[in-house]
């Protein structure tokens, strides 16, 4: 049972990456049919709010976590960066580029998150530590494998091309997707203070979806002048909004917040490359996208790098648990060092001497007091 509990975060992230893969494919299909990316984001967040808010309300325990001004500011900022800005620029990039490129560039998240986490002290690097070297090397292999999946082709293994090259807006779409990866990395980092300030993960997900709906709605009202853009023209668009809202936002936010509270932002980010592998396989099966040798080699590299980083993180978690189990170990070691130094300087140390000295001082003080 203990081993299963330890593997829960990894299993949750694995399921989440499958969900993200389906979200990417369905979103791309809905946008290609002509749905506005900004309207799509509003519907997605609104559906997520309608689904998760009642669950969070009725499952809330009496005397639960209350949201103060600091918690509200953190949740608002996380919603603005991780939901409103992130999903809007991602949807624009997904429409202008392709689902394969969006998934491949999403693998920059672990590298960006690692740099950000290190810069603010959430991740430690010690060149003499094999654990730190493993995390660095694993991150490089992971990102390198993901990039090779997008850029290195080689001999074709399966299927023929369905999507075009992306047209003249291809570069702009890639820039939008890159901006989305930066926002996602910042969102992962923000989850650390957010979950610490407001540890109710289900309620936190509901608040993020609700704030994301309001923020995205206001943004869309300013940018989208055509009222017909709010209409749904096909069942695919409706299914896309429902699936991405319920699974891609409501379910994903809850799982993401819980995993980060358990394992930290880097652990969560390192699973992102798996989404590229999943999207590649599903696109080849259902969309008949072509597969090249470079993509296959890159997928293997992604998995290898992922396990290397997870090994390094597992060692960190083991040491952290050891410190929690033995909180007095460091104090005892320091005390032993002090005693050893004292013995080397003044010969044999009598541990009872301070007690006798204190007692004799008390007797002398009492004697002087009575004399007065």
Query: From the CB of residue 345, how many other CB atoms can be counted at a distance below 10 Å?
Result: 8
What domain range is 347 assigned to?
A: 331-371
CA angle 327, 333, 339 (to 5 degrees): 140
Distance of CA 316 to the CA centre of its chain: 17
* Cβ–Cβ < 8 Å for 241, 43: yes
Q: How far apart are CA 354 and CA 318, in angstroms?
A: 39
Q: Work out how many domains the chain is built from and give that number.
A: 2
- The two tokens of residue 85 are 């800005």
pTM: 0.69
Q: Check whether residue 115 and residue 171 sit in a common domain.
A: yes
Phi/psi-derived region of residue 264, left when phi > 0, alpha when psi is between -120 and 50, beta in every other case: left
* Cβ–Cβ < 8 Å for 25, 164: no
Q: Is residue 326 part of a domain?
A: no
Beta bridge pairs of residue 297: none
Q: Within the chain, where are the H helices?
A: 2-32, 37-58, 69-79, 86-96, 99-105, 108-119, 130-151, 170-197, 201-223, 235-243, 252-263, 265-269, 272-286, 293-325, 329-346, 353-371
Q: Check whether residue 172 and residue 262 sit in a common domain.
A: yes
Q: Is residue 314 part of a domain?
A: no
Q: Is residue 122 part of a domain?
A: yes
The last residue of one of the domains, among 291, 322, 353, is 291
Q: How far apart are CA 86 and CA 215, in angstroms?
A: 12
Q: Check whether residue 45 and residue 174 sit in a common domain.
A: yes
Q: Is residue 88 part of a domain?
A: yes
- The two tokens of residue 267 are 């652990």
Q: Is residue 298 part of a domain?
A: no
Q: Is residue 249 part of a domain?
A: yes
Q: What is the pLDDT along the chain (372 residues), one digit of tens a residue?
A: 566 677 888 898 888 988 888 888 888 888 888 889 999 999 999 998 998 889 888 887 665 667 788 889 999 999 999 999 999 999 988 888 777 777 777 777 777 777 787 788 777 777 777 778 887 888 788 778 767 765 665 666 655 444 444 445 767 887 898 899 889 889 888 888 888 888 887 888 889 989 999 999 999 999 888 888 898 888 888 988 999 888 887 788 778 878 888 887 667 777 877 887 788 777 777 766 566 676 677 777 877 877 787 677 666 654 554 454 454 444 444 444 344 444 444 444 343 444 334 444 444 444 444 444
* Cβ–Cβ < 8 Å for 197, 327: no
Q: Is residue 318 part of a domain?
A: no
Q: How far apart are CA 11 and CA 255, in angstroms?
A: 11
Q: Is residue 306 part of a domain?
A: no
Q: Check whether residue 208 and residue 338 sit in a common domain.
A: no
């Amino acid at each position: 049972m203990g081993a299963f509990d330890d593997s829960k975060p990894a299993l949750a992230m694995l399921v989440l990456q499958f969900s993200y893969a389906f979200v990417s494919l369905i979103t791309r299909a809905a946008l290609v049919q002509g749905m506005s990316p900004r309207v799509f984001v509003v519907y997605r967040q609104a559906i997520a709010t309608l689904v998760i808010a009642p669950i969070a309300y009725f499952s809330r325990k009496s005397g639960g976590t209350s949201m103060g001004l600091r918690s509200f500011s953190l949740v608002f900022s996380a919603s603005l960066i991780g939901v409103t800005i992130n999903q809007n620029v991602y949807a624009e990039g997904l429409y202008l580029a392709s689902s394969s490129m969006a998934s491949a560039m999403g693998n920059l998240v672990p590298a960006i998150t690692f740099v950000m986490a290190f810069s603010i002290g959430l991740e430690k690097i010690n060149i003499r530590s094999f654990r730190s070297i493993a995390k660095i090397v694993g991150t490089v292999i992971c990102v390198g494998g993901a990039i090779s999946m997008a850029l290195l082709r080689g001999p074709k293994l399966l299927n023929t091309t369905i999507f075009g090259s992306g047209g003249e807006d291809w570069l702009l779409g890639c820039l939008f997707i890159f901006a989305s990866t930066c926002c996602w990395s910042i969102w992962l980092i923000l989850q650390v203070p957010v979950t610490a300030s407001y540890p109710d993960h289900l309620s936190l997900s509901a608040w993020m979806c609700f704030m994301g709906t309001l923020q995205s709605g206001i943004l869309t009202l300013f940018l989208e002048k055509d009222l017909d853009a709010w209409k749904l023209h096909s069942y695919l668009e409706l299914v896309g909004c429902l699936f991405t809202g319920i699974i891609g936002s409501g379910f994903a936010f809850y799982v993401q917040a819980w995993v980060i509270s358990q394992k930290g932002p880097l652990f969560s980010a390192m699973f992102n490359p798996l989404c590229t592998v999943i999207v590649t396989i599903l696109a080849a099966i259902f969309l008949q996208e072509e597969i090249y040798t470079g993509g296959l080699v890159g997928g293997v590299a992604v998995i290898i790098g992922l396990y290397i980083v997870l090994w390094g993180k597992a060692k960190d978690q083991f040491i952290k648990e050891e410190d929690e189990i033995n909180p007095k170990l460091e104090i005892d070691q320091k005390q032993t060092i002090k005693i050893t130094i004292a013995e080397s300087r003044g010969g044999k140390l009598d541990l009872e001497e301070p007690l006798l000295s204190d007692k004799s001082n008390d007797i002398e003080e009492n004697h002087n007091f009575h004399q007065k």
